[in-house]
Structure 1
Amino acid sequence: MNSYLLQSIDDEHKNFILDVVSGCIEHKKLLDVVIDLFYEHHGKGLSRGDHSLYVVVCYLITFVLEDLGLTCFGVIVKSLGLKKVHTFLNFFFTNLITYIQEKWNTMYDAAYVKKHLIIPLLRWRPEVDLVMDQLAAKVSHRHHVKKAPMKTTEPQEFALTKPKPRPLPMPEPIPQQEKHKPVSLIYSYRVGKQNLQYFESTWPVKLNSAAILRQGAIFDRQVEEELQRVECLVQGAQEPSSFLQWQKEMREKDKLEELAKIERRRLEGRISYEEAAMARTRIMECNQKAAKLKKEETAEIMRRYAEKRLKEEKEMRDLVQQVAEGHKNSKFAKEKIQALKRSIVKEVSEQSQELLRQALEEAQAELSRRFEIIREIHALESVPHIRHKYFDDTETAGHELLGEMSLAELRERLGLLKEAQQMEQQEKWEHIQEEKHNKEQLLLQQLDTINLHRKALAQAAASRSGQSKLASLQTVTQDETVLALQKKLEEKQQERQRLKQIRNNKATTSEQTHTVESRTHSKKSSEEESWKDLERSLERHIQKDAAYVVSQRETLKT
């Protein structure tokens, strides 16, 4: 950023700025003494960020005021902060012959300081005082700004008008939801039927003993009720068989009508599906024709653009080759320097590796010696201490008690007691297992009777449902509307197959033509890619050389 600002100004100002910066660096110790004294006296109200500003002002007063002149000095000082510069100039000329001169005398010869620094500054003191007075006037004028006269309050009548009603809030935009295709009745009917079959299926259920006994009691009660009904019929009681037969026929009739209606809906849905498929194929053909025309137009445009691009690339390659030839010599010198540096680095790394290897061998030898000592200590510590103690378990303790016995006798008696307890537990376990086996046999008999009843009921229900389904299918297939819809569905399917065959024939011919075109296009694209790769490699080479040249120029400037 600073280099950019220096380049944007003219040469005269640039030279002046560079001279000031170099002078500040050259007389840094002398200027820092003055600035440190200034911060000691006025450090509370000053910022450390303005240190460089005070250094520049001190350098201009001390060394450049003779050459610069009072006018240019005043312009430079007024462009900076007025209050800051006024405070510094006041401190500088007030303490010039006291604190500042004493500090300078410690650094340089007193005669040199008085002749070349103090006397010229005292000679310029009256003219600098005029500049300080101007700065003080501007600072005081800035602080004493005239305030505008305050307006008197004028009473006004109350405006008791009705407030405007609040505007209604804007309604939030309703998000657009995607429209979902409605589920067809045929699909929902099939899913419901599958779920019904799943839940109606007789999966084997593992029953406990209470459930088995309860189910057996239910079947026994049903058998008793059936026997009582048969006895009543034998004795002459009447059975409402005619009414039940009429009710069954009416239900069958309603069921057949419902099945015919469902079949008609299914066929109508299939017909509408076939018509929609044919419409989609027609729309697809129209879109394919439009896309083919668009592809031809874009191919023509791309061909023209490719020709233009190849011409530009050829011109660019010629230019790149000319530039690359100019940079070959600099690249060779750079490679030679890099090879020399690599050889030096290799020698240094080999020496350092040798030293590291020797240090590692010494450390390993010391470590192995310590490990050997530790192993010997562990071996000495692990040797067991042999203690001999003889004990006879057949002798008593000799306390002369009533129940006193030896350890061997105690073990024998405990073993006999344990065997007696095990025998008693074994007898109890066998008794429990026998009762459990009897109970399981009873439950198995109950399960056999339950399964027999269920199989009989399932066979009867299956025979009845098969007869009803056969009758319903015969009646549904004999319906005239269903036959007409089936015929119409077959015609639509044949027409759709014919359109599909025509489309497949067209697709095979288009694929053959497309393969020929793709081969020619692939050849052109491969040539273009090879030229582009060459261009990219040359551009990278030029950028690297350009970066190296710029870095060399910057190092020379610094």
Structure 2
Amino acid sequence: MKPAALIAAVEQLYNDFNPSVETLDSYISDTLGDCDSPSADPDKIFMKQVLYSCLRYRPGLKAFLKHFFYDNAGSTVRADYNMYMIMLTLALFRIEELGVDMFSKFAFAQEPMKMCKFLTYIFDTSPTSPIMCTVKQEWCKHYDVRFVEDTLISRIRDLTPAMEELCEKLATMAQGIVAAAEEKKAKAGITKLAKKKLTVPNPPNITKPRPRKVPEPMKITNDVKVGAEPHYLDRTSLSEIEDTKLARLAETRSETKKKYETAKEQPFKFHKSLRDNMDEVRREVEEKRNSELKFDMSHRKPLPDFRRFNATVKMNAAAILREDSLFKKKQAEEAKLIKDYEEELRDSTEFYRWRGEMESHDHVMKMEQVASKRMQAEASSRNARDAKERQLVDNKAVADLIKEEGELITKQRKMEVEATIMVNKQLVKEIREVEEKAPRKAESLVFQSRQAIRVSQNAKLKEAWERKLEEDEIEKGRKKDKIMRLRTHIVHKPEVKVFDPTTSAGLGLLDEMSLVEMEERLQINKEREKADEIEKRRGIVAERTLKQAQLSQRIDNIKRIREAAKTANREAREQKKVRNKKMKEIETSKLQVSQVALAEKLMREREEKKADMAALMDEEERRKKNQMFQGAATHQVEETHYDQLLLGAERQAKVKQERAQKAALIYEETKKTARKVVEAEAKTRKLEKAKLYKAKDEEIKEKRHDLLIKQKASVAHKKYNFAVTRTKEQEIKAKMIDRNVYAQSINDMSLTLAKTAKARRTKNNVVSMLTS
């Protein structure tokens, strides 16, 4: 296949691939067939490798193409997106395998102008180029910085000289194509018609006129004549100008002062204003005023005491109705209690009193239980300490057993792993033998079944299509016949009707009436509605007055209820305070009694323990005396010797422990100092890194701003070129019309006929839809 056909085939493969439906490997095997065997088609292998590269490097390719289309919006077409992606893959990731010569063939197979602009954009390695600024930043978001610098940017720099030569060749080709297109446009699209050869007369041999002498063109000079420098600047200097300025200022000040001194109206001179202690008097007055100020107070005025007067609360209708409803609900509950007492002859007050006594009794029992639990917790803590010591001994024995079992389990597991590795190796060997033969057989069977399905489906589609064409012809003839029958029945008859307002339509309806009767009835209905409206207004006013009276009555009732509730609540609060005080005193006394009992118990246990220890000591002394009397002095001397040895070992261990503690303290201090140094260095590096990033960000912002300015200038230049081109095209079109007026008239007539035929066809379609 040729390079252009290969690029088009890869583009079609990329467009048809849908990753949500099938995997890439299955898509390649279904579309291209065998691409892995040594006898596979090289073109298919090339298409497979390019497609794999496009999908693998898709994020980086999309990042580049986003900036490329943004920077060249006026000279690129969005339909060439996939073509640019394939060429970018070949230029960046497959150029080493293809070589520059083979890549040039693929570039020459596309449009020269597009490829020239595309390659110039890629291999522009200047510091302000997009590939070194914005595109590089986008690549660093998707790939490692080292890969971008050492692989992509380095490869672009190495290929820049060869690609510049290729761009020059493409630019030369593009200029030739553009020149041919401009030449074709200059002819204004007028085709040369074959004409009959005309008779060419031979002119007589007449004396030729002498050419007129053309005068030489007048020379226009572009020189700018400047006169000599003026000499008045040499008459003065800066110092003289400054002296003149100061003299003029002093003269103006003296004239102004003299004007006010010689004026008729002079300011009145007070006697006190002549005193020298004016500043002291002013300072004393200000201090006196400042002493009366109270800016340091938390409040300028004392806060009001809201307990001396009640706050004014304005109640709306909703609040009044809500409180009245609560009062009625409470009344209903009390009435229900009275009714229950009358019917059942049983008062629930005794029950509530009994429940309160039981609750207080339960509270007392709960406190006693808390005290007993506290004592039990103390005893259980002592038992827990003894159990912990026993548990430590048992745990040590269990740990030794677990270690032995662990060593045995480790050995067994190691043997199992070795056996599993041997089985897996054998299994891998068998699977590889199957993989080399089974896929090829399965592929051939699938390909044959698909071929048979395709042949049967094509035959069915062909039969269905022929049947559909026959049905369409029959339906078309039926609709045409129906339209012709409908057109034969269309007849327009003129009708003239005269309107009489005093008579009805005469259709025989139940409510049929004339216009005059309808107006009279409307007038009667309006008067009836007006009377109903007045009556309704009266009812609304009466109802509103009744509601207002009911609200007033409810407000009075609410005030009376509130006063009663206030008195009852005050009495209940006082009773509750007294009751709580008594309960607190009882609980305090019980707590003191329990604390005294607990202290006595603990003291008794301590005395018993001391007595036991004293008895043991006496028994030990008695035993030692008996041994001494019985001739056990030698044994006593040995015990004393061993005791001294143990005390010496204890002293030695204590000295070692103190040395180890000192060494540990020194190590911790050294470690803390080293950690502080490391943290300080890390902080310094962080600050330097932040400064570096800030400088880089500012540099990027400046470059981005410059790039934006260049882009705006480029867009403005493109707009200007577009406007100039459009003006030229309009001029060329006008010239075409002036040169061939007859062709333009024929063109206008053809357009008119086409529009008329389109309107007629639309009308026929609408009629056919209505009839069907």
Shorter-chain TM range is: 0.3 to 0.5
User: What TM-score do you get using the length of structure 1 for normalisation?
Assistant: 0.33
With a CA cutoff of 8 Å and minimum separation of 6, indicate the structure with the bigger relative contact order. 1
